[in-house]
Amino acid sequence: MLLRRPLLRAEGPDGEALSAVRRYTDRLQTLFAGYLGYRLVVEPGFARLYKTGRSPDGVRGAHKPNGAPFTPRTYAYLALVLAVLTGGQGQLLLSSLVAELRTLGAEAGLELGSGIVDRRALAAALRHLIDSGVLTETDGSVSPWAEDADREALLTVDAELLGHFVAAPLGRVQSPEELAGGPAAASAERVQAGAG
């Protein structure tokens, strides 16, 4: 189950399995570390399996509720939202989040549109965080905002879960190839850099 759903929450899908994960934490941590090189963190409200490297089928990534993979635009919004949320607010209005995203995007040299395509991409990124438990729709909903930018919602951030959401230690990643390939690719890349 953890291989299929690396972020397992008590309130989320398959949440009933969390008690079994807690019961066998030591064994599972040893198993995942020994056979796959994965790290398992178990907290009272969730378990997070940190996978490294590519999956066997070469496919990793987030998907929209309809099963479609995230587009580069949706990933860009997801990254910007995570950057804003890391700022430490416990609750924020959707309109404030969008304003901060635009400011952050401008600082990064990104032009964020306000049309329906951009709103849908941002709503998909937010829905992913809501489905993962990082955000909660305390009042209102994100979904109608994609069609009507005047809609509002109050969002609550789970700071502890936010800290475990991103699997790769991004501060130590030196290239996109290293991020995509995990530790083995990083070692190979460093060896090639040293040999050249």
What secondary structure does DSSP assign to 72-138, as a single string?
HHHHHHHHHHHHHHTT--SEEEHHHHHHHHHHHHHHTT-----SHHHHHHHHHHHHHHHHTTSEEEE
Q: pLDDT by residue for the chain (196 residues), tens digit each?
A: 888 888 888 887 777 888 889 998 899 988 888 888 888 988 888 888 888 755 444 445 777 777 788 888 888 888 888 888 887 678 999 999 999 888 888 887 877 888 888 888 899 999 989 988 889 899 989 988 888 888 999 999 988 888 777 765 555 556 655 545 544 444 434 333 333 3
CA torsion 126→127→129→132, rounded to 10°? 180
Q: Name residue 95's amino acid.
A: S
If phi over 0 gives left and psi between -120 and 50 gives alpha, with beta otherwise, what is residue 109? Answer: left
pTM exceeding 0.85:
no
**pLDDT at residue number 86:** 85
